[in-house]
Amino acid sequence: MTHHSTQLSERSRGTVLVLAATICWSASGLYSRLLTTDVWTAIGWRSLFAGLFLIGPLLMLGGGLSRRHWRAVVQPAGLAMIACQTISQASFIGAYYTTSVANVAAIYATAPFIAALLGWLLLKERASWRTLATGLVCLIGVGIIMASSIGGGRVVGDLLALVMTASFAMVIVLPRLNPDLPALPPIIVSALLTFVLFAPFGSAGSLDLHNWVVLAAFGATNFSIALVLFIMGARHLPPAEAALIGTTEIVMTPLWVWLLLAEKPPVATVIGGAVIFAAVVCHTAVELTRSRRKTSS
Q: In the predicted model, what is the mean pLDDT of residues 81-89?
A: 92
For the chain, which residues make up each domain, given as ranges?
A: 20-296
Least Cα distance to 50 among 6, 89, 18 occurs for 89
> What single string gives the DSSP state of each residue in 22-63?
HHHHHTHHHHHHH--S-HHHHHHHHHHHHHHHTHHHHHHTS-
d(CA 62, CA 53): 16
- Hey, how many other C-beta atoms are within 10 angstroms of the C-beta on 142? 22
**Mean pLDDT along residues 106-132:** 79
For 109, which DSSP code?
T
Q: What pLDDT, on a 0 to 100 scale, did the predictor assign at position 5? A: 53
| pLDDT tens-digit readout, 139-195 | 888 888 888 777 666 889 999 999 999 998 888 888 777 777 777 888 889 999 999
Tens of pLDDT, residue by residue over 182-199, are 778 888 899 999 999 999
Q: Is the pLDDT of residue 92 over 90?
A: yes
pLDDT band at 245 (very low <50, low <70, confident <90, very high): confident
Report the distance separating Cα 252 and Cα 260, nearest Å.
12
Average pLDDT over residues 100-128: 82
Rounded distance between C-alpha atoms, residue 71 and residue 65, angstroms: 11
Could you tell me the pLDDT band of residue 296, with boundaries at 50, 70 and 90?
Answer: low
Q: pTM to 2 decimals?
A: 0.83
